[in-house]
Amino acid sequence: MTGTHEQVRIPLPDGGFLATALYLPAAAGRGERVPVLLEALPYRKDDLTSSYRPEYVRFRDEHGYAVARVDLRGTGSSPGVALDEYHPTEQADLHVAIGWLAAQPWSTGAVGMFGTSWSGFNALQLACERPPALRAVVASYATDDRWTDDVHWMGGALRLLDQVDYPLYMVAMNALPPVPAVFGDGWREEWHRRVEETPPWLLRWLTEQTDGPYWRHGSVRDRSLAPVRGPSPGGYERIACPVLVVAGWADGYRDNTFRTFRALHDAGTPVHVLAGPWSHMAPSTSVPGPCVDHVAVMARWWDRWLRDVPNGVDAEPPVTVFVRSYAAPEPDAARWPGRWEAHDRASLDAVRDVVVPLAGLPLTGARPVAPQDVPPGATGPVVAHDAALDVGAAAWNSCAASLPWGQPLDQREDEARSLCADVDLPAGAVVLGHPLVRVRVLPVATRTHVSAKLSLVPVGGGPSLLVARGLLDLAYRGGDGTAPTALVPGEWADAEVELEAAAFEVTPGYRLRLAIAAADWPNTVAPQGVWSMLDVGATELVLPVSAGSPHPVPVLPEPLAVPSDEAAAADEEAGDSSHVQWQHGYDVLTRTRYADVDHGATYAAPHDARCTEHYVGHVEVDARTGEQTARGMCRYEVEWPQARVRTVARLLLHVDGDGFTADVDLDVDADDEPVARRRWQTRVDRRLP
């Protein structure tokens, strides 16, 4: 029996409210009390992300949970102004929302928070606040460290490709009006206020170039207490409710996987981890798969902790991971080969570090250095390398999702311009955790980067499959994200580059390849200078190699089958359409490497709406100077019976040796008439002592 779906307003102490879509199961209509699940996002529940609805309906009708989907303050149909990502008012508002939901006559008083990405972040953030009614959370594709594991900075370097995506589309999305049928009278006035007062968040992100209070807010991890590869106490000690972490090895938010588990486990907090092959998509529909019915997985978690059902969840091995094996890389691979493994704290503690010195390994991309040309301080041997500023296009961006944000390509083109070493491991060795590369390089500039990538390659030659990557701006070689330090050209610099969390197997007939370069472009901005030599004697690869699992192979629920032809017919009948382009290349005459994306869709939405999204991005770098540009456009059009609105945001970002120059334009129209024209310009200098 199906339940109900209604729009409600959760009142806030300042007189505002949170617009909420409330899904109540049939039991609530019969006077029974039920637990409630809360998801809170700024992504417009009633149009742009209305496609999330089937998940809420399943929780309601199959599992008997109430679900509250909330538009955050100043977004969707909630009044106010969205001042920033994870603004302190958000946590305060959601604390109120949790209390309100727990107090409803149909509620048992038990609330769970869940969601993907943003709503995974705020689920962890609210768990730290300990609202009495919050009994458990599920954080999917979220992170505990906004400084280094989000879409802004990576290893101290600005993420370049991301600038034409998320930061830009939030400018256009935040300028859309409340849904007239939901907000009611006054929606136009609220819209005009929103357009005039909402800042473009990305300008603040450019100014916050180092770790510190800004990025620590909303980050559960306390980096001041954590070694590079260790757990992070501090923030995690504030979490008392059970936590389920869902991660994807093709997703950009996976680095907290093992440290979150260890920190919460050691604090005595119930915690489980499910890490699959997935990209930034629902595990039931992700490309790549194999896919899993994540609704069923979460429902068992909620049953245990919100209903106190003794279903055995807390007796099962707490960590389930997909161990990837080799397949030739494809940008749109539907499925990865591999297998599932179950682990506990003891089997994770049994992972041992295998240290592989580069000394003695054949190196490609290296030139010998005469003894008299080796600067003092090297342990030797020393090789020279012609580092390039535009290496990395084959690796694409580090957070895959729906195309054009796809999987890395064959790495051999980039490896040909990197310094590479092949490493043989025993057949069947499983790498489980964060690989680490210790390097000593000779910089020729006051600032440069080290990129480290691991790939699986066939022993006899063939396509190179990227399985883990890491990057460090060497200004942060001391490990303190708050205090970058300039390099001294001509003096050796030592650094540790932590690679992404990974789980992969070196099957018979394959080996690992380590590729070291000075750039990972366009994933991050290219440095303005390079390093010229590598002290091989002081460089090594550290691999966390599993001792195996003592547990049976986990059995996970299969996703519900939806016939593809049936889905295609439904889209055609609704007039839905989409397009996608992803290209990159090299301009021989200008020595410029570039990448282009162009994608979008048109579809129907609730309240008789018709929505169009269109995104265009272009990034380029001068391979000689390191100067680079990101240009992007994001357009949203939503047509309701009451009005047809359009927002268009444009970005021009220029990166040079001294800093960033950003121009942001926003056009807002209603029924083809201008509503607002806004422009922001800023110049931000790069900061070094």
Q: For residue 65, what are its two tokens?
A: 């949970």
Q: For residue 555, what are its two tokens?
A: 């059995």
Q: Which helix (H) or strand (E) holds 441?
A: strand 436-443
Contact 122, 40 (CB under 8 A): yes
pLDDT digits (tens, 9 = 90+) for 208-259: 999 999 999 999 987 654 443 444 445 799 999 999 999 999 999 999 999 9
Which pLDDT does position 512 carry in this prediction?
98
Which pLDDT does position 231 carry in this prediction?
41
CA distance 515 to 494: 17
CA distance 559 to 290: 10
CATH topology classification for 352-545? Jelly Rolls (2.60.120)
pTM score:
0.96
Between 118-129 and 88-102, two packed helices, what is the crossing angle to 10 degrees? 70
pLDDT confidence bin for 687, thresholds 50/70/90: confident
| Residue keyed to tokens 């024209």 | 677
Cis? peptide before 180, omega within 30° of 0: no
User: What value does the mean pLDDT take over residues 296-305?
Assistant: 98
Which pLDDT does position 226 carry in this prediction?
42
Phi and psi for 431 in degrees, rounded to 5?
-90, 125
The radius of gyration of the chain from alpha carbons, rounded to an integer in Å, stands at: 25
Tell me which residue of 97, 111, 86 sits closest to 16, measured CA to CA: 97
User: What are the beta bridge partners of residue 585?
Assistant: 594
Contact 469, 451 (CB under 8 A): yes
CA distance 311 to 299: 11
CA distance 417 to 422: 15
Which pLDDT does position 225 carry in this prediction?
44
| 637 pLDDT higher than 70 | yes
User: What value does the mean pLDDT take over residues 175-197?
Assistant: 98
Which pLDDT does position 575 carry in this prediction?
75
Which pLDDT does position 223 carry in this prediction?
62
Identity of residue 442:
L
Contact 115, 126 (CB under 8 A): no
Percent of the chain, pLDDT > 90?
94
CA distance 124 to 117: 11
Which CATH superfamily does the domain covering 4-158+212-349 fall into?
Answer: Alpha/Beta hydrolase fold, catalytic domain (3.40.50.1820)
Which pLDDT does position 568 carry in this prediction?
56
Give all strands (DSSP E) within 43-124, no chain letters: 66-71, 107-116
CA dihedral (518, 498, 86, 599) positive or negative: positive
CA distance 325 to 455: 11
| 147 pLDDT higher than 70 | yes
Give DSSP secondary structure letters for 134-176: EEEEEEES--S-TTTSSSSEETTEE-SGGGGSHHHHHHHHHTS
User: What value does the mean pLDDT take over residues 116-136?
Assistant: 97
Better-predicted residue by pLDDT, 637 or 689: 637
Which pLDDT does position 374 carry in this prediction?
96
Which pLDDT does position 1 carry in this prediction?
74
CA distance 212 to 223: 10
User: What value does the mean pLDDT take over residues 440-445?
Assistant: 97
Residue 656: strand, helix, or coil: coil
| 688 pLDDT higher than 80 | no
pLDDT digits (tens, 9 = 90+) for 378-425: 998 999 999 999 999 999 999 999 999 999 999 999 999 999 999 999
| 574 pLDDT higher than 80 | no
Q: For residue 684, what are its two tokens?
A: 């931000």
Domain locations in the chain as residue ranges: 4-158+212-349, 159-208+575-689, 352-545
Which pLDDT does position 232 carry in this prediction?
40
Phi and psi for 335 in degrees, rounded to 5?
-155, 140
Which pLDDT does position 224 carry in this prediction?
55
pLDDT digits (tens, 9 = 90+) for 23-62: 999 999 999 999 999 999 999 999 999 999 999 999 999 9
pLDDT digits (tens, 9 = 90+) for 450-501: 999 999 999 999 999 999 999 999 999 999 999 999 999 999 999 999 999 9
User: Which residue intervals of 140-291 are DSSP H helices?
Assistant: 166-174, 180-183, 187-197, 201-207, 213-216, 257-266
Contact 519, 623 (CB under 8 A): no
| Residue keyed to tokens 């750039």 | 519
Phi and psi for 415 in degrees, rounded to 5?
-65, -30
